[in-house]
Amino acid sequence: MTDAAAPPAAGRFAALRRRLARRAREERQTPIVPPGNVAGRALMTVIGIMTFLASLTVGAVTLVADTASAWQSQISREITVQVRPDDGLDMAAALAKVRATALATPGVRSAEIMGDEATERLLEPWLGDDLDLNDLPVPRLVVIAIDEAAPPDFAGLRDTLRIAVPQASLDDHRAWVSRLVTMAHATVVIGIAILTLVLVATTLTVVFATRGAMSGNRHIIEVLHFVGARSGFIAAEFERHFLKLGLLGAVAGGSTALVLFYAMGRWTALNEATPEADQISALFGSFAIGWTGYAGVVLLVATVGGLTALTSRLTVTRQLAAIDMISPVER
Nearer to another protein, 29 or 134 (CB): 29
CB atoms within 10 A of CB 277: 17
**Cα 169 to Cα 76: distance, rounded to the nearest angstrom:** 17
> Which residue number, 63 or 224, has a Cβ lying nearer to another protein?
224
Task: Please say whether the beta carbons of 118 and 101 come within 8 A.
Answer: no
Using the minimum distance from each CB to another protein, give the nearer residue, 228 or 275: 228
Q: In the bound complex, what is the minimum distance in angstroms from residue 227's beta carbon to another protein?
A: 4
CB of 197 or CB of 321, closer to another protein: 321
Smallest distance, another protein to C-beta of residue 32, A: 7
Least Å from the CB of residue 314 to another protein: 16
Backbone angles phi, psi at 287, to 5 degrees: 55, 40
Tell me how far, at minimum, the Cβ of 241 lies from another protein, in Å.
12
Distance of closest approach, residue 15 Cβ to another protein, in angstroms: 15
Phi then psi for residue 111, to 5 deg, are: -140, 120
If the CB atoms of residues 2 and 327 are measured against another protein, the closer one turns out to be 327
Q: What's the rounded Cα separation, in Å, for the pair 268 and 276?
A: 9
Where does this chain bind another protein (CB under 8 A)?
22, 25-26, 29-30, 32, 34, 219-220, 222-231, 233, 321, 324-330
Question: What are the helix (H) ranges across 80-173?
Answer: 91-104, 116-127, 154-164
Residues 6+ apart with CB under 8 A from 187: 60, 61, 64
Cα diameter, the chain: 107
Cβ(239)–Cβ(311) below 8 Å? no
Please report the beta strands in 70-218, taking only residues with DSSP state E, as ranges in sequence order. Answer: 78-83, 108-113, 140-146, 168-171
C-beta of 27: minimal distance to another protein in Å? 10
Nearer to another protein, 25 or 132 (CB): 25
Q: Whose Cβ is closer to another protein: residue 179's or residue 230's?
A: 230
To the nearest whole angstrom, how small is the minimum distance from the Cβ of residue 328 to another protein? Answer: 6
Residue 188 in contact with residue 64, Cβ under 8 Å?
A: yes
